[in-house]
Amino acid sequence: MFRWRDLSDVPPGFGPSVVTLGNFDGVHRGHQQVVSQLVSSARERGWASVVVTFDPHPAQVHRPGSHPGLIMGTEDKLDALEATGTDAVLVLEYTLGFAEQTTEEFVLGALVGPLGARCLVVGSDTRLGRGNSGNIDTLRELGERHGFEVRVVEDLLDPLDGEHPEHAPAGERRCSSTWIRACLQAGDVRAAARLLGRNHRVRGEVVHGAARGRELGYPTANLSPDAAGFVPADGIYAGWLVDVQGTRWPTAISVGSNPTFENVPRQVEAHVIDRPEERVEDFDLYGQDVAVEFVERLRGMVAYEGVDKLVAQMDDDVARTRELLAAEA
């Protein structure tokens, strides 16, 4: 898959193509449905398929400091889009100046011109252009004037198959990034995974911590505070750590400030379980960029009276993690 970071990266004369556009935060099952139709439409015609997305997220530009947390970082988003089979992704820098373009200026300057777009595949709620003034009708009018087709993909509704969607905001029935954030805020990583179509993950550099875990017999890989991805609710989780070689290690994960100890900042700590004894001494993750995947929340955070009770609980957490992940394999 081609990964273009600017319009200037697009080869001259590229196209014809089928294009979709959006933020795609999470690249969840609803997004995947849109991109799947993009790819199939392009293959039917023998054209290229292109996803256009934005960095930073528009909410970060228009509402700095009050924007919702992003489900995933840009690199993970590109990896997830590549897994859909699209031919290329164009990442456009989003600025206040960029947002002042009219719908026609954006469509002609970014899609029809450089990408040779002959067909746009979009979700039913697509809005674009200055003040989000453009919609599906606007795109169809532009398509008639400038020679491109518009195909609309309807929302993916209630993919959890529940009578009442789990953790969904009031009135929300479609697969959405908002719904996934609500699941993660509640610690329901199982529901988030069903909406995403894969385990939710956080990615970051492994940094040195206070080494309390090592002293207790449970060394942890501590993610940097600026790790990319939405950190779920405080608690203990079963999951996986994926190292730079792509090896997935069964892992017990702690999210929170560890109330048993004082003055501990909120952090993500991952304890890899059952490492081969012959490799333990070489298992140095410091400085590596790793991904931590969340499979299931085991419990919330609890303050224990004394280290012995804490260690006993950690023993139980690791045993439950081992059992749960064995069933997942």
Beta bridge partners of 53: 91
Structure-block tokens of residue 305: 């009276």
Q: Is the pLDDT of residue 277 over 90?
A: no
**Chain mean pLDDT for the chain:** 91
315-326 tens-digit pLDDT:
999 999 999 999
Rounded distance between C-alpha atoms, residue 88 and residue 50, angstroms: 5
Q: Dump pLDDT digits (tens) for 187-198.
A: 999 999 999 999
Tell me the two tokens of residue 28: 């969840």
pLDDT tops 80 at residue 174: yes
Contact of 114 with 21, CB cutoff 8 Å = no
Q: What b-and-e string marks burial along 192-214, b requiring 16 or more CB atoms within 10 Å of the CB?
A: bbbbbbbbbbbbbbbbebeebbe
pLDDT > 90? residue 305: no
Nearest C-alpha neighbor of 225 from the set 264, 272, 259, 179: 264
Owner of token pair 């909410």: 59
The reported pLDDT for the residue numbered 159 is 85
Q: 60-100 pLDDT, tens per residue?
A: 999 998 888 999 999 999 999 999 999 999 999 999 999 99
Q: Which of 141, 149, 262, 269 is catalytic?
A: 269
For this structure, is 269 an active site residue?
A: yes
Q: What is the pTM assigned to this prediction?
A: 0.92
Res 172: pLDDT: 87
